Amino acid sequence: MHESPWPIRIDGLLFREAAEPDIEALLAFRNDPGVNHFMVRTYVDPDELRRDWLAVPSSPTDYSCVVERDGEVVAMGFLDIVDGVGQPGHPTGTDGLIGYIVDPRFGGEGIGAATARALLHAAFDGLGLRRVTAAANADNLASVRVLERAGMRRERHARRALWHHELGWLDEVGYALLDEEWTALRGTSKPEMCL
């Protein structure tokens, strides 16, 4: 179990673990149809959402965060430690998978881009991971832009790989970043850590 990489502050946003009072705010946009149009996991049962988010502080693999601006929850970020692949004996717990959802009321204000940066910072500088990946529908232009703006490298375009209940088989794009790439990207600028 790692120490939590949160809280951190970037661009006026506070990234922190969720607590009970946040659950209603998360529920208010997690099942929004415009959000679920782009999610592989669509409807999330409210009790399950509450249980999952409140379990994060004691999870050895889930380092998801809520994003707060001026005291209001405006987005959620997902960060899971996953096992890489390889022959028996390969190191485990070295890779991360990120994702994010911005409350649609606050879309287009740079919150998605800042969240991706915060998740990469948490994964590499906080948890010491070696490789982080993310995936999106190829036609999710906002998410693709968020990942590219965060400096992630497209390394996969899987054709008709992802089933969508309204649109059928969709292309999926995969992005990745290694720790040394992050170090080069980040330079010397570090987000403000809050203790």
Least distance (Å) from ligand COA to the CB of residue 89? 32
- Provide the CA 17 distance to its chain's centre, in angstroms: 13
**Residue number with CB closer to ligand COA (81 or 101):** 101
> Which residue's beta carbon is nearest to the bound ligand COA?
112
Tokens for 43? Answer: 């409807």
Strand order in the sheet with 168-178: 153-164, 168-178, 131-137, 95-102, 72-82, 65-69, 13-16, 8-10, 192-193
Please state the closest distance from residue 113 (CB atom) to ligand COA, in A: 3
By C-beta, is 132 or 146 nearer to ligand COA? 146
Phi then psi for 120, rounded to 5 degrees? -65, -40
Nearest approach, Cβ of residue 1 and ligand COA (Å): 27
60 versus 108: smaller Cβ distance to ligand COA? 108
Give the binding site for ligand COA (CB under 6 A).
35, 38, 99-102, 107-113, 136, 140-143, 145-146, 149
Q: Which residues pair with 96 in a beta bridge?
A: 81, 132
Instruction: Give CA–CA dist 140/138, Å, rounded.
Output: 6
Q: How far is the CB of 76 from ligand COA (least distance, A)?
A: 9
Tokens of 71: 């005291």
> Toward ligand COA, which CB reaches closer, 81 or 150?
150
